[in-house]
Structure 1
Amino acid sequence: MGRSDPPRLSRSARNARVPWIPAATADEIRDHVQQRLRLMAGLIFWVCLVLFGFVLSLYELYPQTRPLGADLVHAFAFAGLAALGAIWGIAMRRPLAIQVLYRIDALIVLCIGGVFGLSAYVNSEQRAAVWAAFIWHTFTVFSRALIVPSTGRRTAVTGVVSYVPFLAAGVGMAIQRPQQLEIPPVPFVIGVVLFAGMATVLATTGSRLIYGLRADLRQARQLGQYTLTGLIARGPMSAVYHARHALLRRPTAVKLLPPEKHGADDLARFEREVQHMSQLTHPNTVAIYDYGRSPDGVFYYAMEYVDGVDLEVLIHLDGPLPAPRAVQVLRQICGALDEAHSRGLTHRDVKPANVILCRRGNQPDVVKVLDFGLVVEVERGEGGSGAPAVLGTPAYLAPEVITSPGDVGPRSDLYGVGAVAYFLLTGERVFAGTSVAQLCLAHVHETPVPPSQRTDRPISAELEALVLACLSKDPGARPESARALRAALDLVPEADQWDEDAALAWWTSFEERRKPAADGGSAGPRTITVDLMARATTSGEVA
């Protein structure tokens, strides 16, 4: 078969700094601002209600403390409380345009400033009431800076405007009631300006810091056009995140290599992975959408997100598969490997955890083969210096991978397919061991127990013989190719015993069972025992 050389990343592509865009969409920003405004309106409503109740109780208990203009202040306070209650309980329950929300934001603080400013002016004969009004409004300004996402500039403008009623009250008191002031009118007005100015500066500084931290958090979740929304899996070399494209809005998985993993070998292997996978277009291979590098050096690539279950988890949850279903899964794995092998590529890490079973549209039991991070170009080898490295997962390593890593080829992948088939049919690994060394020795020297002897489920003699042929120590005794193995699977008795109706019935049941966990129901977490030794790499790390 001919081989297509992988496209090489140009120097400019490798060193490109992908522009970062705001992580949140316009709708998400609007929803967040509206949620915070509603929170602030509710908090201020209840705080002011308690304060108003306290003042009314005070006037009832001590009538002599009631100022002459109390009725006017109470009327404005009632109106303000009614407006806050309407905003909190009614208006903010439906989506509003972002500009409307910004106006409501300014209106809330301005109205509260007006009520407290009026209270300060009307109650000017009670100096404690004047400064209490000033302090209570300052609490409101600070609360807004903490709760509502806002730029420093908008907070500064809102703060200045909200203190205008106090400045007007101060000027009015200085002109009309100077005898009630303890200090001369001019210093009094200057003091009001300084107090309001310092409060606004502090609120603006806090708002800018909080807004900047939130922007940094959004930026940290952004890679190119992709927003990271949640961790899917993490391994020793890389991490995979669920992501969303800024424009297409399609679910995506993004795999990235953190800066601390940027050794020359790791980065070369990661770039090789995206190069190789970008060539593969088989429907049973995970598709690559994009790749790049973030400004802080994180290399990443985006691939299709597969909402399914990997075969390792599937067997731990449901036990061994019926042989007819296992045959259908294995056929699709062979299809993906056949394309890779035809391009001169060997996967080198075929294992249950690297095969996801999912639904595509209404098509059940669709296989997706992923994680070509250990792929090797057969005709050129690793392309590096020194002896070839032993790479792979011990429970699924072909003997030649252990004894002669330089001789790895397509039939090494077929050994992995045989080991996966064994696991699907029996729920057990081909060999057990307490260390990587024991597993490797078993693959090289021990004869596998026939799968029919390790399960009560029926397995035809033809299927068992095919699985054991794949597990042969001699690569030459295995099927000639992935295509030949798929053709042989078509001939086993179980080949036509698993139909689409059976698959759809299983998926309907499976999705019902996993709904409580997805919906946060009361079913509680499900504990799965995972054989970490089977997932360890030959260097001793857990893959």
Structure 2
Amino acid sequence: MTPDRWRRIDELFDAASRLDPDTREGWLRQACDGDDVLRDEVLRLLSHDERAELERFLPAPEAIDRTGDRTGTWPPHAAGRHPAGLESIGRNGAAPGGRDGGFTPIAAIHPGSGPGSSAGRHVPAKQRLLGLVCLSLGLALLMLSWKYLVARDPAPTQAIPYSILIVASCGVALLILRPAPLSPSRARFLELGMIGLVAGVFAVSQYQTMLDFARRGDPLRAQFVMNHRVLIAAILVLCHGLYAPSDWRKSGLVVGLIAVLPFATLLALYLRNPGPMAWLGGMGPRGGTSPLVLVGFDAMLLLILAAGSASGSHLIARLRREVREARQVGQYRLLRKLGVGGMGEVYLAEHQFLKRPCALKLIKPGIESGAKALARFEREVRLTATLSHPNTVEIYDYGRTEDGVYYYVMEYLPGMNLAELVERHGPLPPGRAIYLLRQICLALREAHGVGLVHRDIKPSNIIVARRGGEDDVAKLLDFGLVLPGPSNGASDLSDEGRILGTPLYMSPEQATVRQELDACSDLYSLGAVAYYLLTGRPPFHEGGMIEILVALARDPAVPPSLIHPGIPEDLERLVLKCLEKNPDDRFRDADALERALGQCRCAAHWGPAQAARWWLTAGDPMETGSGEDASGRPTADALEARHSA
């Protein structure tokens, strides 16, 4: 099935899944315009989706057709060793061995744990917001009751600010009580918005009420209003520390503004209405003091309280972060942090029952906030889970923590990425570079075959590991920017007009923010990775980001043999062909590039025997020795002990 066909199926599936089941078939019949094969395929996927919702689990993936696999033409494996990841998987998913040689659960996604799950995933955040809303409603109702039932204030316009607060609080409450997910950034916005709204409403009310009493010639009651607003400001300062914990800078800014707001309102009132507020200027001389002294003590107490609230808010935020790092996420126990990226943090984790090490990626709060960003996160997991090639990282699970942080779980790869490999050991021998690049070509062949473009191929996104008794197994990961092939709907999810990817390794067409990217863009990036493996540096690296982007679009790449002599001529021509500015001048697809790599004269200089020898003598000592399971993989306990040593 062609990529265009798959994209059409995906579009129809998304549209039909939003319709009522009774009207889907009639709509599909009209939308497919007589194409019964297309309609049947979409109906089949919809049926699978409905069954998954009922069973709370998706069916196991089909066994992979490997009739076209070219690994058979590679150098022969050593005796007694088997290619990693070629074990067959039964239709029920109960395979005796996974792609890494050990037991592997079905590479499927639990619908109940994903972004579309029901309420209950954001209990702490929603409880904080509900508490803040209830407090706001209570303050507004209390003030209205006091003014019109106890004090019997005759000015009806003074009810307007409190009415606005009540309506806004009810609207926020309805938003919180919806079963739809509430992102961390939206929760933070609502928390700050509610506190700011309450402060603003009471500032307006203070202005109105004090001016009204001043015009009536009742300065004593105006003073009482000021004292009341100072107390309310103190309540808001404390509430911010409890309901919106943050670092001390952000929290200090917010509570500082709240603390000075009553006095700023008083100053504005005095400057704008000097006649009615003349009593304020006369209070000091009559009492042998000044107006500043009259309000200074309250201001000092509020500022001290604001400092304490900011410190407490920072402490609560830090404790929440530490608890998040030390807690158990779902059925996974976090052991230690493996790394930090632009989108989140990756932890070494262990499944509660399988006791198998895995890598768990926590998406940073605030990163996955907008609708497009959330869709991009979900798409990364779902698309990666559909890819089953042994050289693509395997996704086990994904979900969302109780405080709204998204995560997904993938296979743990005890090894190093290509950037670390070159940094530690220098440029690779040409034969080894070919050996690794061919594996990534095979992973891309599967992705491109279903119309997916990775868009962020770089050395740090390719792991070299020991898997299932095999050495130098290359794994392609981080599909956070992956796109279906040219499609308006898919492009919308990747923020039109923004450069997404890594400039050092992106293609010229990607650097110019063209949305219609295809497989040739990935082949350029893979050529840039090959250039880095052979020379120790990317093709264009001098200057800042703008200079690099200009060079990508304008300058030809320097032949790698001029930087690192000894690179075979046929391999150099191949790399430079990948780096052509015009996509039409590059290789037709990943399959063609893989065949060309295999035809290089130095391709036979590296194979499983050479890889095993290298890992035995020069590989990372943390990945050898004791503490391994039957398949040669480090156990979770051994890994934790090593990393804490």
TM-score (norm 2): 0.48
- Paired amino acid for 1:2: T
Name the residue aligned to 1:380.
487
Name the residue aligned to 2:166.
none
Name the residue aligned to 1:296.
403
Equivalent residue runs for 1:221-370 within 5 Å: 221-264=327-370, 265-370=372-477
Q: Provide the C-alpha distance between the structure 2 equivalents of 1:515 and 1:247, rounded to a whole number of angstroms.
A: 24
Q: Provide the C-alpha distance between the structure 2 equivalents of 1:383 and 1:426, rounded to a whole number of angstroms.
A: 34
How many positions carry a matched residue from both structures? 329
Name the residue aligned to 1:448.
557
Q: Provide the C-alpha distance between the structure 1 equivalents of 2:530 and 2:604, rounded to a whole number of angstroms.
A: 17
Counterpart selection for 1:437 from 546, 559, 571: 546
- Paired amino acid for 1:227: R
Which stretch has the larger CA shift, 262-271 or 388-397? 262-271
Residues 505 and 528 in structure 2, CA contact (< 8 A), matched pair in contact too: yes
Equivalent residue runs for 1:371-410 within 5 Å: 371-381=478-488, 382-384=490-492, 387-410=496-519
Residues 286 and 370 in structure 1, CA contact (< 8 A), matched pair in contact too: yes
Equivalent residue runs for 1:530-541 within 5 Å: none
- Aligned-CA RMSD value: 3.1
Q: Secondary structure at the match of 1:372?
A: coil
Q: Provide the C-alpha distance between the structure 1 equivalents of 2:496 and 2:381, rounded to a whole number of angstroms.
A: 23
Q: Provide the C-alpha distance between the structure 1 equivalents of 2:454 and 2:368, rounded to a whole number of angstroms.
A: 23
Q: Secondary structure at the match of 1:261?
A: coil
Instruction: Please state how far the C-alpha of 1:276 moved relative to its aligned partner.
Output: 1.0
- Paired amino acid for 2:487: R
Q: Provide the C-alpha distance between the structure 1 equivalents of 2:440 and 2:537, rounded to a whole number of angstroms.
A: 19
Q: Provide the C-alpha distance between the structure 1 equivalents of 2:405 and 2:622, rounded to a whole number of angstroms.
A: 34
Q: Provide the C-alpha distance between the structure 1 equivalents of 2:620 and 2:459, rounded to a whole number of angstroms.
A: 23
Equivalent residue runs for 1:168-207 within 5 Å: none
Instruction: Please state how far the C-alpha of 1:219 moved relative to its aligned partner.
Output: 9.1
Do the aligned partners of residues 471 and 296 (structure 1) sit closer, same or farther apart at CA in structure 2, a change above 3 Å counting? Answer: same
Q: Provide the C-alpha distance between the structure 2 equivalents of 1:226 and 1:378, rounded to a whole number of angstroms.
A: 34
- 1:45-66 CA-to-partner distances (Å, cap 9, x unmatched) read xxxxxxxxxxxxxxxxxxxxxx
Instruction: Please state how far the C-alpha of 1:16 moved relative to its aligned partner.
Output: 2.8
Name the residue aligned to 1:58.
none
Which stretch has the larger CA shift, 219-228 or 355-364? 219-228
Instruction: Please state how far the C-alpha of 1:470 moved relative to its aligned partner.
Output: 0.2
Residues 463 and 489 in structure 1, CA contact (< 8 A), matched pair in contact too: yes
Q: Provide the C-alpha distance between the structure 1 equivalents of 2:623 and 2:487, rounded to a whole number of angstroms.
A: 47
- 1:232-288 CA-to-partner distances (Å, cap 9, x unmatched) read 111222111111111111111111213332321322211111111011000000001
- 1:296-332 CA-to-partner distances (Å, cap 9, x unmatched) read 1111111101001100010010000000010001100
- 1:364-384 CA-to-partner distances (Å, cap 9, x unmatched) read 110000001011111324342
Q: Provide the C-alpha distance between the structure 2 equivalents of 1:220 and 1:434, rounded to a whole number of angstroms.
A: 41
Do the aligned partners of residues 290 and 397 (structure 1) sit closer, same or farther apart at CA in structure 2, a change above 3 Å counting? Answer: same
Residues 571 and 597 in structure 2, CA contact (< 8 A), matched pair in contact too: yes
- 1:378-422 CA-to-partner distances (Å, cap 9, x unmatched) read 132434277343211010010001224212110000000100000
Q: Secondary structure at the match of 2:599?
A: coil
Structure 1 runs not aligned, ≥5 long: 21-212, 526-543
Q: Secondary structure at the match of 2:360?
A: strand
Residues 237 and 266 in structure 1, CA contact (< 8 A), matched pair in contact too: no
Q: Secondary structure at the match of 1:300?
A: strand
- 1:147-185 CA-to-partner distances (Å, cap 9, x unmatched) read xxxxxxxxxxxxxxxxxxxxxxxxxxxxxxxxxxxxxxx
Do the aligned partners of residues 217 and 500 (structure 1) sit closer, same or farther apart at CA in structure 2, a change above 3 Å counting? Answer: same
Q: Provide the C-alpha distance between the structure 1 equivalents of 2:507 and 2:473, rounded to a whole number of angstroms.
A: 26
- 1:167-214 CA-to-partner distances (Å, cap 9, x unmatched) read xxxxxxxxxxxxxxxxxxxxxxxxxxxxxxxxxxxxxxxxxxxxxx99
Q: Secondary structure at the match of 1:230?
A: strand
Name the residue aligned to 1:425.
534
Equivalent residue runs for 1:519-534 within 5 Å: none
Instruction: Please state how far the C-alpha of 1:499 moved relative to its aligned partner.
Output: 2.4
Q: Secondary structure at the match of 1:268?
A: helix
| 1:505 aligns to 2:613 (yes or no) | yes
Q: Secondary structure at the match of 1:473?
A: coil
Q: Provide the C-alpha distance between the structure 2 equivalents of 1:363 and 1:516, rounded to a whole number of angstroms.
A: 13
- Paired amino acid for 1:233: G
Structure 2 runs not aligned, ≥5 long: 15-48, 54-110, 122-318, 627-637
Q: Provide the C-alpha distance between the structure 1 equivalents of 2:434 and 2:325, rounded to a whole number of angstroms.
A: 46
Q: Provide the C-alpha distance between the structure 1 equivalents of 2:467 and 2:120, rounded to a whole number of angstroms.
A: 33
Q: Provide the C-alpha distance between the structure 1 equivalents of 2:394 and 2:624, rounded to a whole number of angstroms.
A: 30
Do the aligned partners of residues 19 and 242 (structure 1) sit closer, same or farther apart at CA in structure 2, a change above 3 Å counting? Answer: farther
Do the aligned partners of residues 18 and 449 (structure 1) sit closer, same or farther apart at CA in structure 2, a change above 3 Å counting? Answer: farther
Q: Provide the C-alpha distance between the structure 2 equivalents of 1:463 and 1:436, rounded to a whole number of angstroms.
A: 29
Residues 256 and 301 in structure 1, CA contact (< 8 A), matched pair in contact too: yes
